[in-house]
Amino acid sequence: MSKLWAGRASGEINEAAESFNASIGFDKRFLKEDIAGSIAHASMLGRQGIISPEDAERIIAGLGGILEDIAKGVLQVDESAEDVHTFVENTLIARIGEAGKKLHTARSRNDQVALDMKLFARGECDAITERLSKLVAALADKAEEYKGAVMSGYTHLQRAQPVTFGHHLAAYCYMFLRDIDRIKDARKRLNLSPIGSAALAGTTFPTDRKWEAEALGFDGVTENSMDGVSDRDYVVELSACLALIMTHLSRLSEEIVLWSSWEFGYVALSDDFTTGSSIMPQKKNPDIAELARGKTGRVYGDLVSILTVLKSLPLAYNKDMQEDKESFFDAVDTVKACLEVYPPMIKGMVARTDKMEQAAKKGYINATDLADYLAKKGVPFREAYKIVGEIVHDAVKKGVTLEEIPLSEYQMKSPLFGEDLYEEISLSVCVNKRTSEGGTAVSSVEKQLASIRNKLTSAR
């Protein structure tokens, strides 16, 4: 297949070098974007009188036919082409003749590939935010179901204070809502059209970049042609957003792995999202959560890859930038795959509230409430903290819970202790007293869930 750059050079290249240089193996993924961009470009050329309206119509019809035939399977992408742009343009010329040779007027592959990448990235932003919204909705529904289920809240992976399972799950809703905001924010910044920047210096033709940008759904155009062809900030930014999504998924995955273990027994996953062992018949492995946790590393690697590609690159376009695609494709595909499988896994997850409550009763997680009890009676909190610390120390040695200590022993530590202390340190009371904004009380969690659902509605 003829090279778009043949002329100054012969168009011939060493076979190994040609294979090394080619990008058709992965940038064929841009076929729809490339044809959409070319249709808009041809329309602009005809509209501006740069080519005749008849030639513009032939080009547009020819491009539409290529896309239709690809969709039907009548036409296959020629893997011998250097890249998707070469394939489309050569196929167009073969079909409509001389008019097809006019398509590339007033543009370069440099701004063409920048356009394709932005169109692709913009579409993936929308696809990922939709999947994130489904995950948040699934988590919010599960949080609603268990908004009153008492469990241990942890710090340092040690039992700390009583919370509800609904409160815990709502925390992840907010993480993923921030991810939606970040993706949408990055989308705004990338939504400026580079087409018309040409190779790097613009063009001598009387193009209308703003019309072409509007036709493609952009908010405007890049204002500097060198920046237009060399900017890959949005790839970095979106890769960072994807890496952070995976961070949040990995944290949730780690907890699901722990919660579903025999030692915790807090949750049971649906059989649809677990596997067994090839040798141990009793096993039920949380493979989906483990895989999501494991795939986080590759998305981190994709981010580091694009940062390293861009490091020290002089302006404007350099062939190094061809390396932006595979890592970005991988990050997008990995995140989408994880987000596809996670919502139904969450929906099928069942909490074992009895196990959660039993564990909560054995961790002295109501000790802070006992200190607060004294503080509310006028004891300075630091002194109350010390008194309760001694009480917990003695209880641990005796193997009893705070609820099991007789009032007489409490009063030996402080005469301010009364019969009402047992009500104050009841786990359900401890939870539902925390009505401060964002707290774990059921009433507070209900407000959080209402806020989460409002944010979801606004994000759509």
Q: What pLDDT, on a 0 to 100 scale, did the predictor assign at position 55?
A: 98
pLDDT band at 284 (very low <50, low <70, confident <90, very high): confident
Distance CA 67, CA 430 (A): 63
- The better pLDDT of the pair 459, 417 is held by 417
pTM of the model: 0.92
pLDDT band at 4 (very low <50, low <70, confident <90, very high): low
3-state secondary structure of 436: coil
Task: Supply φ then ψ for residue 270, to 5 degrees.
Answer: -60, 145
Q: What is the pLDDT of residues 85-144, one digit of tens each?
A: 999 999 999 999 999 999 999 999 999 999 999 999 999 999 999 999 999 999 999 999
- Per-residue pLDDT, averaged over 41-57, amounts to 98
Q: What pLDDT, on a 0 to 100 scale, did the predictor assign at position 281?
A: 62
Segment 65-71 long-range contacts (CB within 8 Å, at least 24 positions apart): 65/95, 66/35, 66/91, 66/92, 66/95, 67/31, 67/32, 67/35, 70/31
Q: What pLDDT, on a 0 to 100 scale, did the predictor assign at position 7?
A: 52
To the nearest whole percent, how much of the chain has pLDDT over 90?
89
Pairing of the two strands 220-221 and 192-193: parallel
pLDDT band at 15 (very low <50, low <70, confident <90, very high): confident
Indicate whether 9 pLDDT > 80: no
Q: What pLDDT, on a 0 to 100 scale, did the predictor assign at position 23?
A: 78
Indicate whether 6 pLDDT > 60: no
- Per-residue pLDDT, averaged over 397-416, amounts to 95
Q: What is the pLDDT of residues 418-432, one digit of tens each?
A: 999 999 999 999 999
To the nearest whole percent, how much of the chain has pLDDT over 70?
95
Q: What pLDDT, on a 0 to 100 scale, did the predictor assign at position 249?
A: 98
Q: What pLDDT, on a 0 to 100 scale, did the predictor assign at position 20?
A: 73
Q: What pLDDT, on a 0 to 100 scale, did the predictor assign at position 5?
A: 41
172: CB partners within 8 A, 6+ apart: 139, 248, 251, 252
- Per-residue pLDDT, averaged over 438-458, amounts to 96
Average pLDDT, the chain: 94
Distance CA 422, CA 407 (A): 9
- Per-residue pLDDT, averaged over 134-163, amounts to 96
Q: What pLDDT, on a 0 to 100 scale, did the predictor assign at position 1?
A: 58
Segment 252-259 long-range contacts (CB within 8 Å, at least 24 positions apart): 252/172, 252/289, 253/289, 253/290, 253/292, 253/293, 254/289, 254/293, 256/286, 256/289, 256/349, 257/286, 257/289, 257/290, 257/293
Q: What is the pLDDT of residues 365-390, one digit of tens each?
A: 999 999 999 999 999 999 999 999 99
ω before 171 within 30° of 0 (cis)?
Answer: no
Find the catalytic residue in 10, 156, 408, 436: 156
The domains of the chain, with CATH numbers, are: 15-105 (1.10.275.10), 110-143+152-204+223-352 (1.20.200.10), 359-459 (1.10.40.30)
Extract the tokens encoding 216: 């493609």
- Per-residue pLDDT, averaged over 272-299, amounts to 86
277 is annotated as an active-site residue? yes
Extract the tokens encoding 328: 């970005």
Extract the tokens encoding 92: 């167009």
156 is annotated as an active-site residue? yes
Q: What pLDDT, on a 0 to 100 scale, did the predictor assign at position 279?
A: 75
Find the catalytic residue in 261, 277, 428, 443: 277
Distance CA 405, CA 421 (A): 11
